[in-house]
A and B are shown apart, each in its own frame.
Chain A
């Protein structure tokens, strides 16, 4: 039987075996798809695949599962959760029509929201493959997603940050020093989130207590998280640890998640446990997920699907559990998946776009490793683009250099740059707190106080007294 995915250009006919192959070949070039041997073999084949993909009816995505329904619980999740009524408005469209519709002036934020449950990850991944960077930005900005726990994240003209005070040995004073640095640079409204140095439940509990005490003492309208395995957090909750958010790294195939050591039931159990603590004040979104292109390939669990489509499928997992925060750690895995600054930038914009279209509160860890062809200028570019696109949050690391995870991200300074040039404020509850604490001398113009705020100079003086 010949495949319906054929395209004739001049006197040459291109045959694409199935939808998965068409999607993979239509993807903008990146090293991970070449590694997986699913990428287009030439630039022309890539564009031909995009042309064929543009002609492909959206209905095909419901009739042709990229991984069989019986074999993968993420496929089952995607198809079982699909809302046919919402889909009816766009059910006659091709991928190309879908692009036009998304870009249209008539398609507003509210309309996207009302149709959103009719999109599948594969549809949004497909349409992203035939869009330019500015289009990914424009549509993502329309598709805003707002979530709350102790503050409200994702509102218009706001940019939040995760304060990431990691330390290679989880030293309490070292972590507290980085938290202070971040707060005084007006960072930390998305979450104060630590990647612990060891995957140990007592360690996680120690760090949770540390952050909880700081948040309570200074009455900071934010939440904390220790980014440990979901099963560790469940156990920590059973041990009465002060857990605000449950973290897990997630991928877009069942096999990827098995390799991470969890399944959808585990996440449900964790969400229920966190909700039972009832620690939110303005909302009940208790989950924090991280994703990133390449994780399925890295776990040998990609089923010959391109890495960007796998990534979009991970957002279906995220969406199911009403997360407060989801971020793609875009350049973290390394050059075998995203080779250089150009590939990292494109992937960051695609991930943010796909997540937002599906209704997921997307942030981004704008980052790279030292074995990739990227530098801080590439981070500046992506930071600026994502800030324009209405990205919910970015990561704030002291000096952009994470001394525990050994990679470079964005710094507290970088977040202030983006806020300043684009007039973006932090979450409203946190904004009020910054004002109350005298962290800014001129909030309107984003000018920090030259003097150290009183509430923080006291504990610092105490510490110095002890040392002296």
Chain B
């Protein structure tokens, strides 16, 4: 009879774990997982399930946006070309028609629409003479953790890039939506008179990535548009797509959507078209060497 520890067959290739977060090289007992790996999975699952129910800390997010340096060129077209930096922008706080998380999970239709109070708030901001090039809408989605970790850091870099563009960008006041789905950005932007909307939303938490931020761009946003009208950049987080890369991709899509006056399936993301062959040579697939 073999000793208990002899039952576990280790995978020699487990050293490849340094190249991916994927659960590779777990080893086995027969064809099943070793006990430690089984329980590690159960723990990650429990944490992800809990993350879905963690509410967004709207106060501290507003505070962060308030303290964020922003180029005045983005807020007011009349400023001279050097621009001035001011501290912050008070966000508009909005809520979907889904009153709580339980309703939110089962009624995505309610998560896509603003409640009455929010609509009134936005109507107060709206003025017939002002149109914006872009609205930036922060939505809790399924992971408030993703918003807390990534939203402001990404917005800082994005607004810097926008301010450096030759063709000026005028951005609408930031909006924060609680219990929202992606499409709610379209309603917010159309009420603000914005030509395009970029939604920052907490993606559903994965076991290894409870903090993943998704970005959705719609040109000419209005209520009732389907996903075919949106472009998505996914998995923005420290261990995923970096803020710089996300901003590069965003800027490409923003500029192209403004030039072509469209978004969605007819707007292809081609930021890597020129560099991909080079990076492919550098980053080798060890299996074919």
Residues of A within 8 A of B (CB): 31, 35, 165-169, 171-181, 184, 197-203, 205-206, 209-210, 213-214, 217-218, 229, 231-232, 258-261, 298-301, 334-336, 339, 369-371, 375-376, 397-408, 411, 413, 416-417, 420, 446, 448, 450, 452, 456-457, 459-460, 462-464
B286 touches A259 (CB 8 A): no
- Nearest Cβ in chain A — how far from B245, in angstroms? 8
Question: How far apart sit A446 and B30, CA to CA, in the bound complex (Å)?
Answer: 9
Supposing A198-B269, A202-B273, A413-B32 touch, asked if A181 and B106 sit within 8 A by C-beta, the answer is no
B226 touches A370 (CB 8 A): no
Of B212, B273, B289, which one neighbours A406 at CB under 8 angstroms? B212
A401 touches B31 (CB 8 A): no
B269 touches A199 (CB 8 A): yes
Question: How far apart sit A457 and B11, CA to CA, in the bound complex (Å)?
Answer: 11
In the complex, which residues 224-256 of chain B have their Cβ closer than 8 Å to any Cβ of chain A?
Answer: 224, 226-228, 231-235, 239-241, 249
B283 contacts A by Cβ under 8 Å: yes
A167 touches B33 (CB 8 A): no
Residues of A within 8 A of B206 (CB): 370, 401-403, 405-407
B265 touches A184 (CB 8 A): no
Residues of B within 8 A of A406 (CB): 203-206, 209, 212
B106 touches A31 (CB 8 A): yes
B24 touches A178 (CB 8 A): yes
Residues of A within 8 A of B11 (CB): 181, 184
B204 touches A177 (CB 8 A): no
A-B contact pairs, 11 of them (CB 8 A): A165-B22, A168-B21, A168-B241, A173-B19, A177-B13, A178-B24, A181-B25, A258-B226, A336-B107, A399-B23, A399-B41
B264 contacts A by Cβ under 8 Å: yes
Q: Looking across the interface, which residue of chain A has its beta carbon closest to that of B266?
A: A261
A210 touches B285 (CB 8 A): yes
In the complex, which residues 14-34 of chain B have their Cβ closer than 8 Å to any Cβ of chain A?
Answer: 15-17, 19-26, 28, 30-33
Of A180, A402, A452, which one neighbours B287 at CB under 8 angstroms? A180
- Interface size of B in residues (CB-CB distance below 8 Å): 73
B52 contacts A by Cβ under 8 Å: yes
A403 touches B272 (CB 8 A): no
B150 contacts A by Cβ under 8 Å: no
User: Which residue of B22, B224, B285 has the most chain A CB atoms within 10 A of its CB atom?
Assistant: B22
B276 touches A202 (CB 8 A): yes
Residues of B within 8 A of A (CB): 9, 11-13, 15-17, 19-26, 28, 30-33, 37, 41-42, 44-45, 48-49, 51-52, 105-109, 142, 203-209, 212, 224, 226-228, 231-235, 239-241, 249, 264-265, 268-273, 276, 280, 283-289
A261 touches B228 (CB 8 A): yes
Question: How far apart sit A199 and B266, CA to CA, in the bound complex (Å)?
Answer: 12
Extra 16 A-B pairs, beta carbons < 8 Å, given A370-B49, A401-B23, A448-B31:
A166-B22, A173-B20, A176-B287, A177-B17, A180-B24, A259-B228, A261-B264, A300-B226, A334-B105, A370-B51, A400-B23, A408-B45, A413-B31, A448-B9, A450-B9, A463-B289
Of A181, A205, A210, A261, which one neighbours B24 at CB under 8 angstroms? A181
Question: How far apart sit A189 and B241, CA to CA, in the bound complex (Å)?
Answer: 30
User: Which residue of B271, B280, B287 has the most chain A CB atoms within 10 A of its CB atom?
Assistant: B287
User: Which residue of A229, A398, A464 has the most chain B CB atoms within 10 A of its CB atom?
Assistant: A398
Residues of B within 8 A of A411 (CB): 23, 33
Residues of A within 8 A of B233 (CB): 198
Residues of A within 8 A of B20 (CB): 167, 171, 173-175, 177-178, 403
Of B203, B226, B265, which one neighbours A299 at CB under 8 angstroms? B226
Question: How far apart sit A201 and B105, CA to CA, in the bound complex (Å)?
Answer: 34
Residues of B within 8 A of A180 (CB): 13, 16, 24, 287
Question: How far apart sit A31 and B123, CA to CA, in the bound complex (Å)?
Answer: 35
Residues of B within 8 A of A174 (CB): 19-22
B31 touches A446 (CB 8 A): yes
Residues of B within 8 A of A173 (CB): 16, 19-20, 283-286
- Nearest Cβ in chain A — how far from B249, in angstroms? 7
- Nearest Cβ in chain B — how far from A292, in angstroms? 14
User: Which residue of A202, A416, A456, A459 has the most chain B CB atoms within 10 A of its CB atom?
Assistant: A202
Residues of B within 8 A of A168 (CB): 21, 209, 212, 235, 239-241
A214 touches B268 (CB 8 A): no
Question: How far apart sit A173 and B208, CA to CA, in the bound complex (Å)?
Answer: 18
- Nearest Cβ in chain B — how far from A200, in angstroms? 5
Residues of B within 8 A of A463 (CB): 286, 289
Question: How far apart sit A299 and B183, CA to CA, in the bound complex (Å)?
Answer: 11
B45 touches A370 (CB 8 A): yes
Residues of A within 8 A of B268 (CB): 199-201, 232
- Nearest Cβ in chain A — how far from B236, in angstroms? 10
- Nearest Cβ in chain A — how far from B227, in angstroms? 6
Q: Looking across the interface, which residue of chain A has its beta carbon closest to that of B205?
A: A370
Question: How far apart sit A232 and B142, CA to CA, in the bound complex (Å)?
Answer: 29
B287 touches A376 (CB 8 A): no
User: Which residue of A171, A174, A258, A462 has the most chain B CB atoms within 10 A of its CB atom?
Assistant: A174
Residues of A within 8 A of B226 (CB): 258-259, 299-301
Question: How far apart sit A369 and B28, CA to CA, in the bound complex (Å)?
Answer: 25
Residues of A within 8 A of B42 (CB): 376
Residues of B within 8 A of A416 (CB): 31
Of B41, B264, B270, B285, which one neighbours A401 at CB under 8 angstroms? B41
A184 touches B207 (CB 8 A): no
Supposing A173-B284, A335-B106 touch, asked if A371 and B142 sit within 8 A by C-beta, the answer is yes
Residues of B within 8 A of A260 (CB): 227-228
Question: How far apart sit A407 and B205, CA to CA, in the bound complex (Å)?
Answer: 8
A217 touches B25 (CB 8 A): no
Question: How far apart sit A206 and B275, CA to CA, in the bound complex (Å)?
Answer: 11
B241 touches A197 (CB 8 A): yes
Q: What 9 A-B pairs are tightest by C-beta distance, nearest first?
A: A399-B23, A406-B206, A261-B265, A174-B20, A416-B31, A177-B16, A181-B24, A259-B226, A370-B48
Question: How far apart sit A201 and B239, CA to CA, in the bound complex (Å)?
Answer: 24
Question: How far apart sit A404 and B272, CA to CA, in the bound complex (Å)?
Answer: 19
Residues of A within 8 A of B204 (CB): 334, 369-371, 406-407
Question: How far apart sit A166 and B208, CA to CA, in the bound complex (Å)?
Answer: 13
Residues of B within 8 A of A213 (CB): 285, 287-288
